[in-house]
Copies of this chain bind each other. A is one copy, B any other.
Amino acid sequence: MTHLRNYARPRYPTPMSDFRPELATRIFTLASRDEGGARFWRIECPDWINVIPLTGAGEVVLVRQFRHGIGADTLEVPGGQMDPGDATPLEAARRELLEETGYAGDDWTPLGWVHPNPAILSNRCHSFLARGVRPVAPIRNDPNERTEVELAPLSEIPRLIGEGRITHGLVLNAFHWLLLSEKR
Protein backbone atom coordinates (compact mmCIF):
# COMPACT_ATOMS: atom_id res chain seq x y z
CA MET A 1 0.00 0.00 0.00
CA THR A 2 1.40 3.37 -1.01
CA HIS A 3 1.44 6.03 1.67
CA LEU A 4 0.68 9.20 -0.20
CA ARG A 5 0.37 11.93 2.40
CA ASN A 6 1.58 11.29 5.89
CA TYR A 7 -0.18 13.86 8.01
CA ALA A 8 0.70 13.83 11.67
CA ARG A 9 -1.67 11.48 13.48
CA PRO A 10 -3.93 13.21 15.98
CA ARG A 11 -2.85 12.13 19.44
CA TYR A 12 -5.69 10.11 20.86
CA PRO A 13 -4.55 7.59 23.37
CA THR A 14 -7.54 9.17 25.15
CA PRO A 15 -9.12 6.45 27.26
CA MET A 16 -12.66 5.44 26.30
CA SER A 17 -13.75 6.34 29.85
CA ASP A 18 -13.39 10.03 28.96
CA PHE A 19 -16.89 9.74 27.56
CA ARG A 20 -19.63 10.68 30.03
CA PRO A 21 -22.95 8.83 29.84
CA GLU A 22 -25.69 11.36 29.04
CA LEU A 23 -28.78 9.26 28.41
CA ALA A 24 -29.46 5.52 28.66
CA THR A 25 -32.14 3.58 26.76
CA ARG A 26 -32.93 -0.14 26.51
CA ILE A 27 -30.66 -0.47 23.48
CA PHE A 28 -27.90 2.16 23.75
CA THR A 29 -26.26 4.73 25.98
CA LEU A 30 -25.50 8.14 24.54
CA ALA A 31 -22.17 9.50 25.83
CA SER A 32 -20.18 12.65 25.14
CA ARG A 33 -16.74 14.16 25.59
CA ASP A 34 -15.47 17.73 25.26
CA GLU A 35 -12.15 18.28 23.58
CA GLY A 36 -10.52 21.34 22.04
CA GLY A 37 -13.72 23.34 22.25
CA ALA A 38 -15.74 20.68 20.42
CA ARG A 39 -18.14 18.11 21.79
CA PHE A 40 -17.93 14.53 20.53
CA TRP A 41 -20.77 12.03 20.82
CA ARG A 42 -20.74 8.28 20.96
CA ILE A 43 -23.62 5.81 20.94
CA GLU A 44 -22.50 2.92 23.14
CA CYS A 45 -24.17 -0.40 22.30
CA PRO A 46 -23.57 -4.03 23.15
CA ASP A 47 -22.22 -5.99 20.18
CA TRP A 48 -24.79 -7.00 17.60
CA ILE A 49 -25.07 -10.31 15.75
CA ASN A 50 -26.84 -11.58 12.67
CA VAL A 51 -27.28 -15.04 11.16
CA ILE A 52 -27.73 -16.38 7.66
CA PRO A 53 -29.87 -19.46 8.41
CA LEU A 54 -29.83 -21.95 5.52
CA THR A 55 -32.29 -24.84 5.32
CA GLY A 56 -31.29 -28.20 3.91
CA ALA A 57 -33.11 -27.14 0.72
CA GLY A 58 -30.81 -24.12 0.30
CA GLU A 59 -33.36 -21.54 1.41
CA VAL A 60 -32.52 -18.56 3.61
CA VAL A 61 -34.83 -18.03 6.60
CA LEU A 62 -35.65 -14.30 6.44
CA VAL A 63 -37.51 -12.14 8.93
CA ARG A 64 -39.98 -9.38 8.17
CA GLN A 65 -40.66 -6.84 10.90
CA PHE A 66 -41.54 -3.22 11.56
CA ARG A 67 -38.50 -1.00 12.20
CA HIS A 68 -39.00 2.18 14.19
CA GLY A 69 -35.90 3.89 12.80
CA ILE A 70 -37.38 4.15 9.30
CA GLY A 71 -41.07 3.72 10.21
CA ALA A 72 -41.56 0.79 7.82
CA ASP A 73 -41.27 -2.99 7.46
CA THR A 74 -37.95 -4.53 6.45
CA LEU A 75 -36.84 -7.93 5.20
CA GLU A 76 -33.74 -9.05 7.10
CA VAL A 77 -31.92 -12.09 8.38
CA PRO A 78 -32.49 -12.77 12.09
CA GLY A 79 -30.29 -10.80 14.45
CA GLY A 80 -30.15 -8.48 17.41
CA GLN A 81 -27.99 -7.37 20.28
CA MET A 82 -26.01 -9.49 22.72
CA ASP A 83 -27.88 -9.81 26.00
CA PRO A 84 -26.09 -9.86 29.37
CA GLY A 85 -26.83 -13.60 29.51
CA ASP A 86 -25.08 -14.36 26.21
CA ALA A 87 -21.53 -15.58 26.92
CA THR A 88 -20.41 -15.26 23.27
CA PRO A 89 -21.67 -13.76 20.00
CA LEU A 90 -22.42 -17.32 18.82
CA GLU A 91 -24.66 -17.91 21.83
CA ALA A 92 -26.52 -14.66 21.05
CA ALA A 93 -26.88 -15.76 17.42
CA ARG A 94 -28.40 -19.12 18.40
CA ARG A 95 -30.81 -17.36 20.76
CA GLU A 96 -31.91 -14.72 18.22
CA LEU A 97 -32.41 -17.33 15.48
CA LEU A 98 -34.65 -19.36 17.78
CA GLU A 99 -36.59 -16.40 19.20
CA GLU A 100 -37.22 -14.60 15.92
CA THR A 101 -37.86 -17.57 13.63
CA GLY A 102 -38.38 -20.71 15.73
CA TYR A 103 -35.57 -22.35 13.72
CA ALA A 104 -32.43 -24.00 15.10
CA GLY A 105 -29.40 -25.80 13.74
CA ASP A 106 -26.12 -27.40 14.80
CA ASP A 107 -23.76 -26.44 11.95
CA TRP A 108 -22.49 -22.91 12.68
CA THR A 109 -19.69 -20.97 10.97
CA PRO A 110 -18.50 -17.49 12.00
CA LEU A 111 -18.32 -15.38 8.83
CA GLY A 112 -16.74 -12.15 10.07
CA TRP A 113 -17.49 -8.91 11.89
CA VAL A 114 -17.73 -5.20 11.12
CA HIS A 115 -17.85 -1.92 12.96
CA PRO A 116 -21.41 -0.80 12.06
CA ASN A 117 -20.26 2.82 12.15
CA PRO A 118 -16.95 3.58 13.90
CA ALA A 119 -17.65 7.34 13.73
CA ILE A 120 -20.51 7.21 16.24
CA LEU A 121 -21.10 3.60 17.32
CA SER A 122 -18.80 1.80 19.76
CA ASN A 123 -19.71 -1.76 18.91
CA ARG A 124 -19.16 -4.61 16.45
CA CYS A 125 -21.64 -6.69 14.49
CA HIS A 126 -20.78 -10.40 14.11
CA SER A 127 -22.16 -12.49 11.23
CA PHE A 128 -22.73 -16.23 11.27
CA LEU A 129 -23.80 -18.92 8.83
CA ALA A 130 -26.08 -21.64 10.22
CA ARG A 131 -26.49 -24.59 7.84
CA GLY A 132 -29.25 -27.19 7.95
CA VAL A 133 -31.63 -25.20 10.13
CA ARG A 134 -35.15 -26.49 10.72
CA PRO A 135 -38.25 -25.24 12.56
CA VAL A 136 -38.21 -26.56 16.13
CA ALA A 137 -40.31 -24.13 18.19
CA PRO A 138 -42.83 -21.30 17.93
CA ILE A 139 -41.58 -17.76 17.43
CA ARG A 140 -41.11 -16.00 20.79
CA ASN A 141 -41.01 -12.24 20.27
CA ASP A 142 -40.49 -9.84 23.14
CA PRO A 143 -43.38 -7.42 23.75
CA ASN A 144 -41.87 -4.74 21.49
CA GLU A 145 -41.30 -6.77 18.35
CA ARG A 146 -43.30 -8.92 15.94
CA THR A 147 -41.37 -11.01 13.42
CA GLU A 148 -42.74 -12.99 10.46
CA VAL A 149 -40.67 -15.61 8.67
CA GLU A 150 -40.22 -15.78 4.88
CA LEU A 151 -38.05 -18.24 2.97
CA ALA A 152 -36.02 -17.32 -0.12
CA PRO A 153 -33.53 -19.43 -2.11
CA LEU A 154 -29.96 -18.30 -1.45
CA SER A 155 -29.54 -17.78 -5.20
CA GLU A 156 -32.30 -15.13 -5.08
CA ILE A 157 -30.57 -12.94 -2.48
CA PRO A 158 -28.54 -10.80 -4.95
CA ARG A 159 -31.79 -10.01 -6.79
CA LEU A 160 -33.58 -9.10 -3.54
CA ILE A 161 -30.67 -6.78 -2.69
CA GLY A 162 -30.48 -5.32 -6.20
CA GLU A 163 -34.22 -4.61 -6.24
CA GLY A 164 -34.14 -2.85 -2.88
CA ARG A 165 -36.20 -5.48 -1.06
CA ILE A 166 -33.33 -6.18 1.36
CA THR A 167 -31.88 -2.79 2.39
CA HIS A 168 -30.33 -3.33 5.83
CA GLY A 169 -26.62 -2.57 5.56
CA LEU A 170 -25.61 -5.08 8.24
CA VAL A 171 -27.60 -7.82 6.50
CA LEU A 172 -25.73 -7.00 3.27
CA ASN A 173 -22.52 -7.31 5.28
CA ALA A 174 -23.45 -10.86 6.29
CA PHE A 175 -24.03 -11.85 2.65
CA HIS A 176 -20.80 -10.08 1.66
CA TRP A 177 -18.88 -12.18 4.19
CA LEU A 178 -20.57 -15.29 2.80
CA LEU A 179 -19.51 -14.33 -0.75
CA LEU A 180 -15.92 -13.76 0.42
CA SER A 181 -15.87 -17.09 2.26
CA GLU A 182 -17.09 -18.90 -0.87
CA LYS A 183 -14.24 -17.34 -2.88
CA ARG A 184 -11.56 -18.56 -0.46
CB of A70 within 8 Å of the partner chain: yes
Minimum CB–CB distance from A11 to chain B (whole Å) comes to: 9
User: Which residues from chain B contact A170 at a C-beta distance below 8 Å?
Assistant: 117, 169
Total copies of the chain: 2
Are A151 and B1 in contact, with the CB atoms below 8 A? yes
User: Which residues from chain B contact A6 at a C-beta distance below 8 Å?
Assistant: 148
User: Chain B interface: which of A38-46, A82-90, A91-99?
Assistant: A38-46
Are A118 and B43 in contact, with the CB atoms below 8 A? no
CB of A115 within 8 Å of the partner chain: yes
Cα-based distance from A39 to B184 in the complex (angstroms): 45
CB of A172 within 8 Å of the partner chain: yes
